[in-house]
Every structure is written in C-alpha cells, then in structure tokens.
C-alpha cells in the first residue's frame, strides 16, 4: 500500500481531479502498463480511500483523454498511449508535452546555412537566395521518435540558435528567452502524406507509412514571420487536438 | 476580350482585391487550368486595365493561398488546386468551401439506426446499445470525392435528418435551421492513417493512401454532445488551416 501516494482531502483541488492526475501519472510512467487491466472501481475506492462517485468521475475523464478503454463485462484497461498535443494555444512540443508528463528529447540531424528557395523566401518574406539557417531535428517522446522537424529562420536568429541547446529545448523558448523575441501567432496547414526519403530512417518507419504533415509559419508579436517549419509526425503515434467554436468574437 | 469581366474602379473594394477574386474564380472554374502559365504581369495589367502594382498585389495574395506558383525565369503557373478549409471557426464543409468558390455535393452511402457501440455511447453520453442514427456520406468538391464522413447523432435528431436534404446541405446547417439546435463548440482530434476497407472505393484511392482523419464531437450551445463524426480526407486533396496565438485570453 505504501507505493500508493495519498490524496489530500483538504486540498482545494477536488478529490476526483487529484485521483485523475495520480492515475494519469501512473499510466504514463508505466506503473499501470499498456493493455493491463485497471483495478475495479471498488478496488480503486479502497486503495485511495475515496467514494465510488469520485473514482467514476476520474475514470470518465481518463477515458475521454483516451488513456483507458472499457470492454463490456470485462472491465477497464490501459490504452496504448497515443500522444497528443492541444493546439488551441501556440506551444513548442516540449513545452506542451512536459505538462502532460511526457519527456521530450531531440536528435539534431543537421544545422546549416543555406540559400532560401522560393517557398522559404516567400514564407519568411526575404528575397530568394537570401542566407537562412536550416535545422533538422528528430523529436523523441519518451525516447521514441515521433516527428521530423525542418526549421528555417533568418540568418541572425540562426546564429543565436547555433549556440543554444537544441537537444532538450524548444526553439520557441530559445527565441523568447535567449533571443528576446516576443512570439505572436502562427499559421498552420495540416494534411496527410506518405512517408518517403529521409523520413524513413529518421522516424524508423516503412515507406508509405501515414504522416501527419504540418506547415507552420510563426510570427513575432509585430506580425513579422520569423520561423518557417515543416513538421512530419508519425500518424499512428501522434494527434493534434483543438476546440473550435461556432461563434467567435472576430 | 469580352470574356474578361470588367473591374469596377469606383467600387469601395480595392482593385487588387477585385482582381484577385476574379482570377481566383477563373482558376477554380478552370478558365486558367492547373499547370497552365498565367499571363504575365504586363499582360494582366492590359487585360484588366489596372497598374502593375495592382496586378502584383493580387498575384502575391494568390501565391500565398497556394493557387499559383512561380518558376524563376519562366513565369507564373496555376497550381493543382489543393482545397483547404479554415478551421479557426466551426463550419460545415459546404458552408466553408462555398465561400471560397467551390461547389460541394454529397453522395449518401447509407442512413440507418444502429445500437451505439462503446465509443459512440461514450462520446454522445448515452448508455451503450442506445439507438442512434448512423449516416455515411461521401463529400465531393467540384465533383471529386475528397472525404468520407461517418456521423452519429441521437435518435430524435436522426429522425429529423432523415427527412432533410443530405445531398446538398451541411448537417450543421440542417441542425441549426431545420432542427432549431444552437451549435456551440466542437472538440477535434487530427491524425493520419492509411486508407483501407470502405475508404478505397468511397474515395477512389489505392490501399495505403494517406488519409487525414478527424474525430469531431460537436456540442450544442448548452455543451451537450449532439453530433459525433469521423471524417476521412484524401491526404493529397485537402488541408486544414488554422491560426494559433501564443497568448490567449483564456
């Protein structure tokens, strides 16, 4: 019983919410491994000393997040976790995922200064052929490669990124904290493509595997484009989530 | 020259904007076919009786939208149009695409009442086995199939949809206008999968083609889930676009 951290009944955080966080941590750290059966509602109630209603609310939230699934008449099981990023707010992968208890690391494939081709020049609003920095990184979540990221930034920013820690840090946070750039908004285009070329080795996948591709153009607070990226996510390993409203205030 | 509609110099809409709309219409209706060369800037200026600056601004906007592309030293060409939907606001496909000059039609594959499986029951917050309506539609943009849409709604709403025109209309608009349902927000999850099963025939694609998959749960204005859908888009034919801000007011 000692391995079960106690909930805090006097905390302002509701008990079901504490229980949900605790169970989520256990699932993500492997204490409850993928495909294993979760303890029953009454067992969980006994272990964590909470009512069945509290257990049910916590499980219902975990179910909505896709962390557990139910098999009728058999009980509740741990899902193979499919990582997802909530993209209602502009965040780097590490920033977003570490809040959910995932560890993000990067493998730097290449960092070089190249001449902007017509697409890069158009997006960064510089003349074609202008020197820009090209950065290729594999991003790993819990040590598994989930995406290849190809980033283009203007030369001056590139020279600062060159000195920064690109293995553990998001480029967004380096821009904000080391380069003093205030980030504004990003325009995203999302589609699906088949894996080929350098993606195969980078993501350890077969030719033709489904890839979620994101073209992302990030602007500073003044609206100037400063960071043009193509992100290639392994389709079966990652998801974007967002909320859209019918009526917006724009 | 008579085929070239005239711009209106006295209109409050800027000339470059009028020219852009006119050229966009011509591209989308095939007057300027995919991969054909656009007239030069000076030719366009002569045809539409506007300055070169006006032409350039219009072309620059069309370029940003991906409707045309430039080949250095050769000129401007019409891109194979990849349709996209701006998902910053919750809209049905027809509603969103008709604003961009596309025609959306639907082919109704099936409409039946089925027992909710555990996923559908969970999303619509009804007991497993509850009767719900299942609607399968192929959505065609400019007569080409771009997506298969599998929709689940509660029985009562289903009975109203059954009487509605599902060939030319969005379900969102039927819900609002015929059923008196005020739509609220939708939660989306986006990933990429490989085409298989019924998708192959429905979208006229090969096994393994990349598919952008969207799980969308739409709620009414009171926050009750009323419409659960899985949307399967042909990866090479469609794109979602959105803008994300670094700092939100939530």
Average pLDDT over all residues of chain B: 89
CB-nearest to A243 from B185, B190, B235 is B185
pLDDT tens for each residue of B229-240: 999 999 988 999
pLDDT tens for each residue of B18-54: 898 889 888 877 788 888 899 999 999 999 999 999 9
d(CA B120, CA B152): 7
pLDDT tens for each residue of A110-130: 999 999 987 898 899 998 899
d(CA B26, CA B30): 6
Are A246 and B89 inside 8 Å of each other by CB?
A: yes
CA B199 to chain centre: 18
Between residues B150 and A117, which one has the greater pLDDT? B150
Place of tokens 């219409």: B25
- B14: pLDDT confidence band, cut at 50, 70 and 90? confident
Average pLDDT (A174-185) is 94
**What is the DSSP pairing of strand B104-115 with strand B131-141?**
antiparallel
In terms of Cα–Cα distance, which of A143, A232, A75, A246 is closest to B88? A246
A67 in helix, strand or coil?
Answer: coil
Position B218 scores a pLDDT of 97
Average pLDDT (B155-180) is 95
- A79: pLDDT confidence band, cut at 50, 70 and 90? confident
Domains and CATH numbers, chain A: 15-78 (1.10.10.10), 83-241 (3.40.1410.10)
A165-195: burial string, b at 16+ Cβ within 10 Å, e else? ebeebbbbebbbeebebebbbbbbbbbbbbb
**Which residue from A minimizes the CA distance to B61?**
A122
**Which residue from A minimizes the CA distance to B215?**
A241
Distance from CA of A167 to the nearest CA of B (A): 22
Residues of B in contact with A122 (CB under 8 A): 63-64
Position B1 scores a pLDDT of 38
pLDDT at B4 over 60: no
pLDDT at A213 over 70: yes
High-pLDDT (> 90) share of chain B, %: 61
Pairs of residues, one from chain A and one from chain B, whose beta carbons lie less than 8 Å apart: 149
- Return the biggest CA–CA distance within chain B: 67
B230 in helix, strand or coil?
Answer: strand
Place of tokens 């494939």: A109
pLDDT at B250 over 50: no
Distance from CA of B50 to the nearest CA of A (A): 24
Position A2 scores a pLDDT of 38
pLDDT at A4 over 60: no
Residues of A in contact with B63 (CB under 8 A): 122
Residues of B in contact with A190 (CB under 8 A): 190, 212, 239-242
Best residue in B116, B192, B226 to probe A by mutation, most A CBs within 10 Å?
Answer: B192
Average pLDDT (B124-131) is 91
Are A183 and B246 inside 8 Å of each other by CB?
A: yes
pLDDT at B17 over 60: yes
A141 in helix, strand or coil?
Answer: strand
d(CA B72, CA B77): 11
Q: Which of A97-101, A230-234, B212-216 has the lowest mean pLDDT?
A: A97-101
Distance from CA of A18 to the nearest CA of B (A): 22
Going from the C-alpha of A24 to that of each of A31, A42, B30, B176, the distances in angstroms are 10, 18, 53, 38
């Amino acid at each position: 019983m000692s391995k079960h951290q106690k909930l805090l009944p006097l905390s302002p955080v509701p008990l079901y919410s504490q229980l949900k966080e605790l169970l989520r941590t256990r699932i993500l750290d492997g204490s409850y491994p993928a495909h294993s059966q979760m303890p029953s509602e009454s067992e969980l109630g006994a272990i964590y000393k909470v009512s069945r209603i509290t257990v049910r609310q916590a499980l219902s939230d975990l179910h909505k997040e896709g962390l557990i699934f139910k098999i009728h008449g058999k009980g509740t099981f741990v899902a193979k976790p499919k990582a997802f990023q909530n993209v209602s707010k502009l965040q780097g992968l590490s920033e977003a995922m570490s809040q959910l208890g995932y560890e993000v690391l990067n493998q730097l494939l290449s960092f070089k200064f190249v001449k902007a081709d017509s697409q890069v020049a158009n997006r960064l609003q510089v003349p074609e052929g202008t020197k820009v920095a090209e950065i290729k990184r594999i991003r790993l979540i819990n040590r598994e490669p989930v995406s290849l990221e190809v980033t283009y930034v203007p030369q001056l920013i590139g020279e600062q990124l060159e000195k920064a820690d690109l293995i553990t840090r998001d480029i967004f946070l380096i821009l904000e904290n080391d380069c003093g750039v205030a980030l504004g908004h990003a325009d995203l285009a999302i589609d699906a493509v088949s894996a080929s070329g350098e993606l195969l080795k980078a993501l350890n996948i077969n030719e033709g595997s489904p890839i979620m591709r994101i073209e992302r153009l990030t602007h500073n607070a003044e609206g100037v484009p400063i960071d043009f990226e193509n992100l290639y996510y392994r389709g079966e390993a990652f998801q974007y989530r967002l909320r859209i409203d019918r009526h917006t205030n724009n």
